[in-house]
Structures are given as structure tokens and as C-alpha cells.
A and B are shown apart, each in its own frame.
Chain A
Amino acid sequence: DIQMTQSPSSLSASVGDRVTITCRASQTIGNYLTWYQQKPGKVPAVLIYATSKLQSGVPSRFSGSGSGADFTLTISSLQPEDFATFYCQQSYSHPFTFGPGTKVEIK
């Protein structure tokens, strides 16, 4: 199975901050990487698919990049509604695997 790791596991940031979350796969996965956001008590929602494609309806302050085994989710200017846990997920091979999550909290 492909193992997914994320760093940091949590971070504190202020509204307006630029936030970067890293996801690393245990092997190369091409561009088969999706990012989800899960707010407390809510259902996960897709933000970015295929590494860098913005899901319809997602604000443009979210962006994704990377290739091979290293990927990044960036929030250009953190908004109050962005505080949540973020997960990456690979679909390069079965079983699909998720990263452990990065919790973004208010500073």
C-alpha cells in the first residue's frame, strides 16, 4: 500500500496568513492526488483534484501543486471559514489511502 504522510499535523494561523500544507507519498504517484477539507462535525469536501485542479465552487485562494511524491496545498490568505482539517488522498493505486490530516486552528 502507498503510505501518505502530511506535515505539519497541526498548525495555528491567523486570518490573512498564507498557509502551506505538505503531503508526501511513499512512492511516486504521478498527479493522482486529491485534497479534502473537513470542518468540525461536517462531511469532507473536495478542494483540489489531480494535484492542482480546483473543484468547482472552491475559492481561488486554495491551490495545489507538486509531482512525483511531494505535494502542497496552499491557502493564499486564510479566512475564518477555512479552519478545518485537511486530508490528502492518493488514487495512483488501490487501496486508495488518505494522509492522517492537518488541523488548521485559529491563532
Chain B
Amino acid sequence: QITLTESGPSLVKPTQTLTLTCTFSGFSLRASGVGVGWIRQPPGKGLEWLGHIFWDDDRRYNPSLEGRVTITKDTSENQVVLTVTDMDPEDTATYYCAHGRGFSVTTVDYFDFWGQGTLVTVSS
């Protein structure tokens, strides 16, 4: 059974750095073809892919965040960490981590198990 849980601050100030941890079970990021992604959803709005990390440490990011996003993994702890620098009120959203799967074993194409999400508010 695959589960993912996001943890981190619920409130950050503008210009601060957000660090969220995704702790997962039921799979290993050492296994080929596996990835973990981060997706966010502003209140009442749609979904935005932030990026994902693959089992081989390949990382992909959304360039719309202009280099502010970093995703790292700790395979021994079954954790993936999202860092977003220079937070702005427009970054207020529910942040989800999700298990990524591909149409082939060489990619991530979609997200089949999601954490419950954590609401992060950016306000002074």
C-alpha cells in the first residue's frame, strides 16, 4: 500500500524559503521507473506541476518558477524534500507530493498516489 505524507510549515513570510518534506511508504526510490512529484493548487484554482525526481536522481522542474524550486531525495529515509525560495503571497497553495509512474519504465508521466496535501500560506 503506497502512502505519502507532506510535512512542513503552514505559514511562511514573503521572501522566506519554504521547505516541505514528503515521507512515503510502500515503494522505494531505489527501484527503477519510480518517481516522486510535487504539484500545488492555489485555493479554488487548478493544478500546477512543480517538478519531480526520478529513481536515478534525474530531476525536472517547472521553469515558470524561475529556478526557485529544488527537489532532493533521501532514499534511506524514504523522503523527498521540496524547497522553494523567495516565497510570495502568490505561492499560497496546497502542496501535494505524489508517486510518479510512467507509460514506460524510463519516465514519469502521471501521478497515481497522492498525499493529502499541506496548505501553505504566504503572509507577513
Query: Which A residues are within 8 Å of any B CB, using their own CB?
Result: 1, 31-32, 34, 36, 43-46, 49-50, 55, 87, 89, 91, 94-101
Contact = CB atoms under 8 A, between A and B. Distances in A.
A46 B115 CA distance: 13
B63 to A, nearest CB: 6
A98 B48 contact: yes
Interface of B: 39, 46-49, 60-64, 96, 101, 103, 107-112, 114-117
Given A43-B117, A44-B47, A34 B110 contact: yes
Nearest to B64: A95
10 contacts: A32-B103, A36-B47, A43-B114, A43-B115, A46-B112, A91-B108, A94-B62, A95-B49, A98-B46, A99-B46
Q: Name the residue in A46, A95, A99, A101 with the highest tally of chain B Cβ atoms < 10 Å from its Cβ.
A: A95
B114 A44 contact: yes
A32 B121 CA distance: 33
A97 B46 CA distance: 11
A97 B111 contact: no
Nearest to A35: B110
A34 B101 CA distance: 11
Given A1-B64, A96-B49, A99-B46, 16 more contacts: A1-B63, A31-B103, A32-B109, A34-B109, A43-B96, A43-B117, A44-B96, A46-B112, A49-B103, A49-B110, A91-B110, A94-B62, A98-B46, A98-B47, A98-B48, A98-B49
A50 B111 contact: no
A45 B60 CA distance: 22
A48 to B, nearest CB: 9
Nearest to B47: A98
A73 B118 CA distance: 29
